[in-house]
């Protein structure tokens, strides 16, 4: 199932049995899913090409002033903050690995090992190209994921904290307040944040 990157954490939590992919769209027998944004247009171009040929699909693409027809397997960026790291494949791979393991603890050593670099090299890579340590990057990702879950799911704050890799709800609440300027429970107040 293809789903927009912003909705992946909530979708995973709500429907853990569904296999989610970080692709623009999925054509699976009689089920079609896409990411949103321009994903539906990419999916329609693929369907047009399958039924009417590449020339017709290219003509439709030109009408919509798209630069190219994107394949279904093209990965969507993890977040708007991740764009611009295409020239750093090691960094891009590290970010994908981090995103896949946000609920786990102590992941940096494993990730560095899987990339074939030292933890210190991974830290330098993040500092040079992201402007922060990998630990700060992970904390921000976990907090953004938690915010999305709090806004879209009705599960206890403690469950959100644990699902996002925080060891305790107290630590989570403190980190959340420091990052967003309000407590996690404020995401659920009627009318939004006070």
Task: Kindly report, residue by residue over 137-147, the tens digit of the pLDDT.
Answer: 999 999 998 98
pLDDT at 193 exceeding the cut of 50: no
> Domain map of the chain by residue range?
8-63, 84-194
pLDDT at 186 exceeding the cut of 70: yes
Task: Kindly report, residue by residue over 23-78, the tens digit of the pLDDT.
Answer: 888 888 888 998 877 888 889 999 999 999 999 999 998 888 888 888 887 776 65
Taking residues 155-180, what's their average pLDDT? Answer: 92
Of 1, 122, 141, residue with least CA distance to 79: 141
H/E run at residue 28: strand 25-28
Angle CA 99–102–107, to nearest 5: 100
The model's confidence at residue 194, banded by pLDDT at 50, 70 and 90, is: very low
25-28/31-34 β-pairing: antiparallel
CA count, 13 A, side-chain hemisphere, 104: 11
Backbone angles phi, psi at 153, to 5 degrees: -120, 155
- Rounded to the nearest integer, the mean pLDDT of the chain is 84
Taking residues 139-163, what's their average pLDDT? Answer: 88
* CATH value of 84-194 in 3.30.450.40, 1.10.10.60, 3.40.50.720, 3.40.50.10860: 1.10.10.60
The per-residue pLDDT for 83 is 47
Taking residues 133-139, what's their average pLDDT? Answer: 93
The per-residue pLDDT for 190 is 57
pLDDT at 105 exceeding the cut of 70: yes
Taking residues 125-132, what's their average pLDDT? Answer: 90
**pTM metric for this prediction:** 0.59
The per-residue pLDDT for 36 is 78
Of residues 146 and 86, more confidently modeled = 146
């Amino acid at each position: 199932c293809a789903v927009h990157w912003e909705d992946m954490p909530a979708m995973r939590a709500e429907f853990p049995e569904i296999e989610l992919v970080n692709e623009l769209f999925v054509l699976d027998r009689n089920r079609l899913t896409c990411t949103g944004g321009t994903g539906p247009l990419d999916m329609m171009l693929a369907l047009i090409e399958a039924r009417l040929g590449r020339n017709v699909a290219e003509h439709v693409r030109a009408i919509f002033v798209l630069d190219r027809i994107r394949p279904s397997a093209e990965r969507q960026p993890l977040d708007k903050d991740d764009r611009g790291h295409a020239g750093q494949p090691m960094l891009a791979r590290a970010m994908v690995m981090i995103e896949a393991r946000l609920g786990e603890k102590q992941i940096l050593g494993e990730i560095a090992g899987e990339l074939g670099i030292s933890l210190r090299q991974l830290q330098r890579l993040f500092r040079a190209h992201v402007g922060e340590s990998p630990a700060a990057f992970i904390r921000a990702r976990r907090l953004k994921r938690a915010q999305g879950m709090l806004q879209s799911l009705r599960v206890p704050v403690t469950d959100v904290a644990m699902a996002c890799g925080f060891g305790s709800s107290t630590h989570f609440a403190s980190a959340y307040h420091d990052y967003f300027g309000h407590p996690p429970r404020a995401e659920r107040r009627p009318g939004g944040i006070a």
